[in-house]
Amino acid sequence: MSTSSNPLIRIFDTTLRDGEQSPGASMTHNEKLELAELMETMGVDVIEAGFPAASEGDFAAVSAIAEQSKSAIICGLARSTPNDIERCAEAVRKAARPRIHTFISTSPVHMKHKLKMGPNAVLEAVGRSVAQARNHTDDVEWSAEDATRTEFDFLCKCIDVAIASGATTINIPDTVGYSHPDEYGALFRRLIENVPNSDKVIWSAHCHNDLGLAVANSINAVANGARQVECAINGLGERAGNAALEEVVMAMKVRGDTLPFETNIQPAYLSKASAMVSRITGFPVQYNKAIVGKNAFAHESGIHQDGMLKNAETYEIMRPEDVGVAKTSLVMGKHSGRHAFRDKLEALGYVLEGDALNDAFKRFKTLADRKKHVFDDDIIALVDDQLAAEGERIVFKRLRVVAGTDGPQTAEIDLVVDGDEKFAIARGNGPVDAVFNAIREIVPHDGKLELYQVHAVTGGTDAQATVSVRLNCEGIMSTGRSSDPDTLVASAKAYLHAVNKLEARKAKRTHAA
């Protein structure tokens, strides 16, 4: 906990709820538990674990996260309907510190076209839902969906009713990313000055990034009285995403001179959290992403390099190690032993035991025989690929591809499906198309390839390739990501990861129906 005299800003992480609503970003049950555990370790105050009424899977994940939690507030989202609130209350019941987060739209456009309710009906729903939630827990958050496009006087009335009914946190979301910083900050100031008993609740900001202003809006809300910021790792979220947790935290840490606020976040975990979310969702982090991007601490121009060599502060406003980025990376090779490899994994934030460690070490040695130098990023990609494949029913075994100008481009592939080995051969319009066609011969599906992206993990012609794939089948989105020195092998594995997720989600939808 912070010991500073500066005001403490609660960090409310919605990666598992709002973040997972990004098309293709769905997470498995175990992945959610793994991520929630890391969030609690890094100091997240409130973990919004999911939307319990949305599905049985969401309910089970929120319940499991609540049960494993130790210190963080575990929050579930609920609409203002009695069933949603009861379901949410049951899901968070076993948390050491449970919270119910209920919401309703308050803007004219939402009330008319989405809710088909008048102002009085909305006010009645606010009071009823908050009171019902308060019967289950003394920690109730209420949100005015589309607050920034809501008439001010009506917004004040809704908040007044929510506080009178027992809400302890009031969230003013910029649901559609419509606001700019001065406007959003001023809204908080006006609300705090005009709403009765505004000093009895914690005010919260939740900003979307449709205009690229989510972090700036969140910071200005804090400067004007907000004491909770709702954000997501890597800025994950619907449409253009949410305010990025790592940017909000480091903005206040680096600029404490003008932003005299504290958080409970331990920044050294930021890089690991970013990498975990990227691995789980299959969404690569853009190279120039603030704080956690690959180029965030890279310097290429001569002027910058000269300044860095003289004094790092000339071009870096924070140290790489402050956010968990290793200062050195070239330390492992084919002569490295198991003990050194295990120490390296722990330094990179991975704890593997037994068969998982043995498999990772074997793959590392194979990679070291193929590459002249093995960098930290290579090891991270190797382990992430291994973790992503755990528990999948369709497993890659072997690939042989014929490519080049003479053609025809042909792929032969061996897969293991539910324990049985399968073989297929197929042609395509290029080697990647041939590989994907061969996989479809074994695992037929209707998924449309919406994204195929390749980038190098490190420099050099022997660099591993990381391939990202996204499939869309009748609105069911799935992503896959894999790394290998052979781009075609990485492509096959990434495609298989996406297919495994697609098949699992189709089965889940069929079961739910």
- Do 303 and 276 lie in a common domain? no
In this structure, which amino acid lies at residue 113? H
CATH number (domain holding residue 93):
3.20.20.70
Q: Which two tokens stand for residue 75?
A: 């929050």
Of 394, 497, 503, 405, nearest to 447 by C-alpha is 503
Range of the domain at 439: 391-511
Sign of CA dihedral 226, 105, 27, 376: negative
Other beta carbons within 10 angstroms of residue 34's beta carbon come to: 15
- Do 17 and 65 lie in a common domain? yes
Select from 387, 409, 442 the last residue of a domain: 387
Q: Which two tokens stand for residue 285?
A: 């982090």
Which pLDDT value is given to residue 435?
A: 96
- Do 118 and 60 lie in a common domain? yes
- Do 306 and 432 lie in a common domain? no
Question: With contact defined as beta carbons under 8 Å apart, do 64 and 95 qualify?
Answer: no
CATH number (domain holding residue 372):
1.10.238
Residue 2 lies in a domain: no
- Do 375 and 397 lie in a common domain? no
CATH number (domain holding residue 428):
3.30.160.270
Separation CA 444–CA 133 (nearest Å): 46
Q: Which residues contact 280 (CB under 8 A, 6 or more apart)?
A: 27, 31, 34, 35, 388
CA 396 distance to own-chain centroid: 26
- Do 435 and 379 lie in a common domain? no
Residue 101 lies in a domain: yes
- Do 381 and 402 lie in a common domain? no
Whether the model pTM is above 0.85? no
Which pLDDT value is given to residue 288?
A: 87
- Do 422 and 330 lie in a common domain? no
Question: With contact defined as beta carbons under 8 Å apart, do 102 and 130 qualify?
Answer: yes
- Do 129 and 189 lie in a common domain? yes
Separation CA 492–CA 424 (nearest Å): 13
The binding site consists of: 18, 206, 208, 242
Q: What's the number of domains the chain is made of?
A: 3
- Do 335 and 396 lie in a common domain? no
Q: Which residue has the tokens 């200005």?
A: 220
Which pLDDT value is given to residue 203?
A: 98
In this structure, which amino acid lies at residue 250? M
Residue 287 lies in a domain: no
Residue 187 lies in a domain: yes
Q: Which residues contact 43 (CB under 8 A, 6 or more apart)?
A: 11, 263, 264, 265, 266, 269
Residue 236 lies in a domain: yes
Separation CA 247–CA 238 (nearest Å): 18
Residue 402 lies in a domain: yes
In this structure, which amino acid lies at residue 447? G
Find the DSSP H helices in 331-375: 338-347, 354-370
β 394-402/228-231 pair status? unpaired
Residue-wise pLDDT for 358-386, tens only, equals 888 888 888 888 776 777 778 887 787 77
Residue 5 lies in a domain: no
Select from 387, 420, 449 the last residue of a domain: 387
- Do 167 and 277 lie in a common domain? yes
Any idea what the Cα angle at residue 497 is, between residues 208 and 458, rounded to 5°? 75
Which pLDDT value is given to residue 330?
A: 44
With a cut of 70, which residues of the chain have pLDDT below it? Answer: 1-4, 298-316, 326-331, 372, 388, 508-513
Sign of CA dihedral 262, 265, 270, 273: negative
Separation CA 513–CA 500 (nearest Å): 20
- Do 381 and 463 lie in a common domain? no
Which pLDDT value is given to residue 510?
A: 59
Which pLDDT value is given to residue 331?
A: 52
Residue 93 lies in a domain: yes
Select from 351, 371, 387 the last residue of a domain: 387
The binding site for Mn(2+) consists of: 18, 206, 208, 242
